[in-house]
Amino acid sequence: MTKVLDINGKQLGEITLEKGVFGVEPNLHVMHLALRRQLNNARQGSACAKTRAEVAGGGRKPWRQKGTGRARAGSIRSPLFKGGGVIFGPQPRDFSFAMPQKARKLALKSALSARSEQMVVVKDFSAIKEPKTKLMVAALEKLGVNGKVLIVADLKAAENGYLELAARNIPSVRLLLPSNLNVKDLLEADFVVVTESAVGEITERLGS
């Protein structure tokens, strides 16, 4: 059983976290693959250098083939010249790779389980009734969380109406919807604060 707190740190009740989601043996290999996939999929892959065929100019032979004492040259846009093309330079490419759905789910379960000791479950953020940063800072202090904090909650729900506005100016706090939960943010966070409704949504999504 896990305690359910309000944002002042007082216990309101208890909740049972599904062992098949929050209590599995972390699979380091699958988490590593999921993290690599996430980072690779975020890469633009737009780096591009022009080859000698793409560089402008160089249509005329710079000097005659023989008799000058210089090495023969056919174009001033050769890679040997300043302003010439680049040999084997970067070209636009797609770094992304696919990962089976079951493996992605296992990676999330592993990351959640690895963070189970640093996880705090709160009822909701209805006590924050104004969009003020100081209210959010006070709430985090009372919950006993510090460092990088990941908050998983439904930001559009009425009870969390001012959560996003109150937390957005705190650099160490990251907000996520339960549907956007990912391995990178879970592993980077020092503490994970999850609302009770988000726990249910995560369990429903990963439990099947």
pLDDT in tens, 38-85: 999 999 999 999 999 999 988 899 999 999 999 999 999 999 999 999
- pLDDT above 70: percentage of residues in the chain: 100
122: tokens are 């709160």
Q: Is-above-0.85 flag for pTM?
A: no
What's the Cα-to-Cα distance from 74 to each of 54, 60, 61, 85, rounded to whole Å? 15, 8, 5, 13
Domains and CATH numbers, the chain: 2-43+100-207 (3.40.1370.10), 47-94 (no CATH)
